Amino acid sequence: MPIFGTDGVRGLANGPLTADLALSLAQATAVVLGQGRTADARRAAGKRLTAVVARDPRVSGEFLTAAVSAGLASSGVDVLDAGVLPTPAAAFLIADTDAAFGVMVSASHNPAPDNGIKIFARGGVKLPDVVEQRIEAAMDGPKLQPTGGGVGRIRRFADAEDRYIVHLLGSLPHRLEGLHVVLDCAHGAASGVSPETFSDAGATVTVIGADPDGLNINDGVGSTHLDALRAEVVRLGADLGIAHDGDADRCLAVDADGTVVDGDQIMAILAVAMKQRGHLAQDTLVATVMSNLGLHRAMAEHGIRVEQTAVGDRYVLERMNAGGYSLGGEQSGHVIMSEYATTGDGLLTGLHLAAEMAHRKATLAELASVMTVYPQVLVNVKDVDRSRVGDPVVAQAVVDAERALGESGRVLLRASGTEALVRVMVEAASEDDARSHADALASVVAERLAL
């Protein structure tokens, strides 16, 4: 069974994800990503390859990072240990140092017992499936085993955080003076760097969820648990709240009234602003099939084209890279601004959202009104044969629902990639319409595709 999932290798730390696995994976990565003309030229000049390694603060990251670093150093790769930093910071630093590749140890928004290993190629870009397959195959092959002066060194990357902060601040089109921002850092990787960056950008900052102890990451806080942030923004009369997840590659927001502003709305705000400044490449936004119908309507009204991809930020990235687009993302808050980042960056997103508020002297609610959010109902139909999602009776039921909804709604059926279930999503002008059509379709799916 493949060990790579949709975003690296992930699992219960010391369950499937052991120190031995991390060591072997790092050694195989050195074999596969240590090839090519650039790597050969460095070796010919008597230089070792370099890799950046970072982690989020969960306790298992300590031993997994040690295992990854040992695997790389034993393969002749010098390791720059950046310590606890967000995933997008690691990606930036790989490019900034011209490292051969890098490794991030994190399980993102998952609970503390889980962990993961994400590998980035030169330039801080995520690996295509074919390269992940080569690394997995190399785990059973010969390893690089230099001796003497050929082994790698492990050094602390002392100015890693400072480099990342300077990069973020340098991207801003406008400073944040006059804004009071509440940051929820999910007791995660952004707990140190996010408050410092927003303060340096001129904002008044209040922080919650920034006391990581290795076990409390994502526990009742962060982008998957917004109630605490909503309450704090309202209590303090702040201008907005920004919520990160454990590795800070996503951002959701809360306006002054405590209303959630999701990834679709954030993308709508940024897309319109970037188009006005001439920074939205080809006047195109890349979003997944799960993005709200309201986003499509809003973008059409502003002359912005939307390209759709499968669910997953890696697919958004692939489409952005292939088309040369500058903005894309997901409803969940993974927003990619390719002028400044090679992956979703929650700090970058939050900073630019706040900068647009400061520049236009507008509230977040006013900016978010660029898009009307259509009620969306998602029903997971379990214990069904997902391979038969194209069943003709199911397909006809979808056609009938779409005809009934007309231009005021849409239907999406999506088979899970990992479980025996089919996701039924319906958007409509009202919550009642969305719910009734979703429940009706779910019944047809359950009856026709039952195992």
Helix (H, G, I), strand (E, B) or coil at 7: coil
Angle between helical axes of 87-96 and 160-171 (0-180°, round to 10):
90
* Residues constituting the chain: 451
Spatial contact of 162 and 85, defined as CB atoms under 8 Å apart = no
Q: Give CA–CA dist 20/27, Å, rounded.
A: 11
Q: Which two tokens stand for residue 279?
A: 């920074």
Nearest to 181 by CA among 106, 236, 224: 236
Please give the DSSP secondary-structure letter assigned to residue 17: B
Six-digit token pair at 112? 């503390």
Give the single-character DSSP code of 286.
E
Enter the tokens of residue 70. Answer: 């040992």
Token pair recorded at residue 366: 């006013």
Structure tokens at 196: 């410092």
Catalytic residue at 108?
Answer: yes
At 11, is the secondary structure helix, strand, or coil? strand
| Given the residues 75, 108, 194, 326, the one annotated as active site | 108
Q: And the tokens for 202?
A: 């001129």
Question: Which residues are designated catalytic?
Answer: 108
